Chain A
């Protein structure tokens, strides 16, 4: 079945990796991080890629989720699973409250507002030391126990994150190819035409903003339990930008693109360590170069390249050229 092909290939890769490279640092630690980033990038892509609403503050929702879990489990001794749900409730409420006024804005104004929101949250994380531990962060976050199974080792986390990623991909793919998903993409294509088809664009935008925040919050809670220590640094403006970069780098409006972008951006710093002092500079240069030469993203870039090669070797199934010219 066509629609299951993506998740199955993804699952196959994620199962094969630890079998091929057992006990490998890159697989158990770096890939796990990449998978977490992929979940976040997919959630941001719902908003940016499909609905066309830019957000430069996504890390805030990730952070609210992480801190909710951390605070509720350490200071209030709540069960981790309940804390995850509570974190999602808190994040969802905040997202719901700001969704309408923020999503009324467009383009650069929307970018600024989401950026501002992200910075406000990260300042609060630093300043409200009473709850958040301030710049020093919060430690001793308890382990996650799922139905009696304690998630302890790096490899356990690899399994948990991978499973959730596959689930998220499946859900998001279903959603995109449905009435709601089409409404979402329609408002990206033309807000006015979408309204004329009976779509309440304001409501759809708010809904996707909340959904996207909920997924980020969930990922944040997982992150808190995985790390057992969190500090505001992980949820700063820079991380928001990194997430946006993953989405754009992979290719907007493509779930697999978002995964690919997350993978590249997680591995790149690991590999650039060899440049030592020049690491930051090289990273910036690569980022610029990729966006200049593949503005539609790496995934689309590779896809097009593959298609071109395919056509070259398996000849001609082309669209009527004349009609292309008129359009």
Chain B
């Protein structure tokens, strides 16, 4: 029993780490521009798919190079999204921006369908498949890659926003765009940096997880939703909340799949999310809002 639970925890933390990265991407874009980016999942899908295709075949690139190129490609997609879809719609309502990003996600999915086709693809793990045994539970090297990679990126994002001028400038834009602009911050550029960074996180998540779960042109949808759930669970706008929310959601799903029912695991995740919101309307670590009159 204990070993079984341990196994669920390992699986849960691995998917949770991916959710955390997607949620973190959501949070960065939300903080910078008040937009809930429903195309976040597509960043994940594109990262994985383009790596698979760049590394495929006899003349394929070595995986690290393919991965790097893919990340760059997805960053460009993120910047394009900001520049050509979000920036022109400034001042539009929340719902309108939601639909724009949904439109973008449909567009990117359609593009992936045209370029890469409908097939489902796998990827070779980065460092073999020899499992590490902890009691009866097994830990695959790729699990370590996912968790380690996530930890490194979370720390890097934390460092970026707290210790670099650019990171602080983005935060300034999110608090007060006009004031930031008056302080000489290039708001437009900072927005592109934020979207680029968010795309980078998404692509990395996609590449890390591809060897464990297969990827296809429509793999981004569910991941995007889960990332959004995780961000809300933790409290929209709080990066630490996003990470905690992601890990928690991963654990909840893995435990309920193992102990209750695998068919209902997603439903249980959402039910717990709803219950949390009913008790804490701004998520676990979100700021409480109050009306001023």
Direct A/B contact, Cβ within 8 angstroms: yes
Residues of A182-220 at the interface with B, using a CB-CB cut-off of 8 Å, are: 191-192
Mark interface residues in A262-302 (1 if CB within 8 Å of B CB, else 0): 00000000000000011111111111100110010000000
CA distance A288 to B107 in the complex (A): 9
CB neighbours of A308 from chain B (8 A): none
Q: Is the CB of B291 within 8 A of A54?
A: no
CB neighbours of A119 from chain B (8 A): 225, 266-267, 270
CB neighbours of B179 from chain A (8 A): none
Q: Which of A192, A241, A286 has the most CB of B within 10 A?
A: A241
Q: Is the CB of A116 within 8 A of B236?
A: no
CB neighbours of B105 from chain A (8 A): 284
Q: Is the CB of B277 within 8 A of A105?
A: yes
Q: Is the CB of B89 within 8 A of A291?
A: yes
Q: Is the CB of A192 within 8 A of B110?
A: no
Chain A nearest CB from B42 CB (Å) reads 10
CA distance A244 to B99 in the complex (A): 8
* A192 and B100 in contact, given A54-B94, A277-B114 (Cβ under 8 angstroms): no
Q: Is the CB of A112 within 8 A of B232?
A: yes
CA distance A286 to B85 in the complex (A): 12
A127 touches B (CB below 8 Å)? yes
CB neighbours of B89 from chain A (8 A): 291-292, 295
Q: Is the CB of B104 within 8 A of A288?
A: yes
Chain A nearest CB from B196 CB (Å) reads 19
CA distance A283 to B99 in the complex (A): 13
* A292 and B111 in contact, given A112-B232, A237-B225 (Cβ under 8 angstroms): no
CA distance A61 to B291 in the complex (A): 31
Chain B nearest CB from A150 CB (Å) reads 38
Q: Is the CB of A291 within 8 A of B264?
A: no
Q: Which of B113, B225, B266 contacts A123 (CB 8 A)?
A: B266
Q: Is the CB of A291 within 8 A of B94?
A: no
A124 touches B (CB below 8 Å)? yes
Mark interface residues in B272-284 (1 if CB within 8 Å of A CB, else 0): 0110011001110
Q: Which of B36, B91, B266 contacts A108 (CB 8 A)?
A: B36
Chain B nearest CB from A292 CB (Å) reads 5
A111 touches B (CB below 8 Å)? yes
CB neighbours of B96 from chain A (8 A): 248, 291, 295
CB neighbours of A281 from chain B (8 A): 106-107, 110-111, 113-114
Q: Which B residues form the contact surface with A (CB < 8 A)?
A: 30, 36, 85, 88-89, 91-96, 98-100, 102-111, 113-114, 225, 228-229, 232, 236, 261, 263-264, 266-267, 270-271, 273-274, 277-278, 281-283, 289, 291, 293
Q: List 18 contacting pairs A-B, 8 Å CB cutoff, sorted by A.
A: A101-B278, A108-B94, A113-B277, A117-B274, A127-B264, A244-B99, A277-B114, A278-B110, A280-B110, A281-B111, A284-B104, A284-B105, A284-B107, A285-B103, A288-B100, A291-B92, A291-B100, A291-B103
